[in-house]
Amino acid sequence: MSDRSVARLVQKYAARVGLDPATVGGHSLRAGLLTEAARSGASIAKMQEVSRQKKVEVLLGYVRSAELFGDHAGKGFL
């Protein structure tokens, strides 16, 4: 299955549930997996093993987004 095929499937089902298909794609699946893994406390090594990403810096971007509101000043009301 090609990357374009995956993107088309994700967009098709996003539209069916009322999401704008232009805002999602195959990469959204990887981003969601890594973001949730970081939220769940997975190690960077395990996330890298599963995602097969070679650069830790790419993973750190997802970890940062997962922790965006973790220690936020407005945590109690956001």
Residue 72 domain-assigned (yes or no): no
Considering the entire predicted model, what is its pTM?
Answer: 0.64
Residue 40 domain-assigned (yes or no): yes
Residue 8 domain-assigned (yes or no): yes
Query: What total number of domains does the chain contain?
Result: 1
Range of the domain at 27: 3-66
What pLDDT was estimated at residue 68?
64
Instruction: Write out pLDDT tens, residues 38-70.
Output: 888 888 899 899 888 889 888 877 776 666 666
Residue 71 domain-assigned (yes or no): no
Q: For residue 28, give the 3-state DSSP assignment.
A: helix
Q: Helix H segments across the chain?
A: 3-16, 26-39, 44-51, 56-66
Q: Taking the CA of residue 43 as centre, how many other CA atoms within 13 Å lie in the half-sphere pointing to its CB?
A: 3
**Closest of 6, 11, 35, 13 to residue 24, by C-alpha:** 11
What pLDDT was estimated at residue 77?
63
Which position has the higher pLDDT, 73 or 35? 35
Residue 47 domain-assigned (yes or no): yes
What pLDDT was estimated at residue 75?
65
Residue 76 domain-assigned (yes or no): no
Residue 34 domain-assigned (yes or no): yes
